[in-house]
Amino acid sequence: MPITCFHSHVSGSLDLLRNENKVVENIKMLCICNNMIYNRIKILRIEKGLSRKDLAEAVGVNFQTIGYLERGDYNASLELAFKLAEFFNVPIDMAFSPRPFKSMAEQLAEIRAAE
């Protein structure tokens, strides 16, 4: 293979690899964007003795939005997540997480094991 053909082949392969890397990055971003955000809204709401309607009015959304959030049918916007965390007076990562929350039993077991 002449050097010019080899260079052209390598250059073409590098371009293809760059395009594949861009596709992979775009797919990763789509996966991140479509991931479920887990929340403890229902638990926090019930602890305060609030109805969905009461909570919705307090944070300025439709009561159905609260139901969608609690069932995991809808991810809160960043603005709504902060409003809810502030309303419940908890750090945002105590109310929302990209991973499922551990049960109270699991958390207690970890605390006891660390003692």
Residues 26 and 81 in one domain: no
Encoded amino acid at 32, one letter: I
Number of domains making up the chain: 2
Residues 83 and 110 in one domain: yes
Residue-wise pLDDT tens digits, 2-32: 555 544 555 555 565 566 666 556 555 444 5
Residue-wise pLDDT tens digits, 86-110: 999 999 999 999 989 888 788 888 8
Residues 56 and 99 in one domain: yes
The answer to whether the predicted template modeling score (pTM) of the entire model surpasses 0.75 is: no
Residues 47 and 22 in one domain: no
Helix axes 52-59, 78-88, angle to 10 degrees: 110
38 bridge partner residues: 97
Q: Give the range of the structural domain holding residue 14, as residue numbers without chain letter.
A: 1-34
Residue-wise pLDDT tens digits, 30-72: 445 557 899 999 999 999 999 999 999 999 999 999 999 999 9
CA distance 13 to 7: 10
Residues 27 and 74 in one domain: no
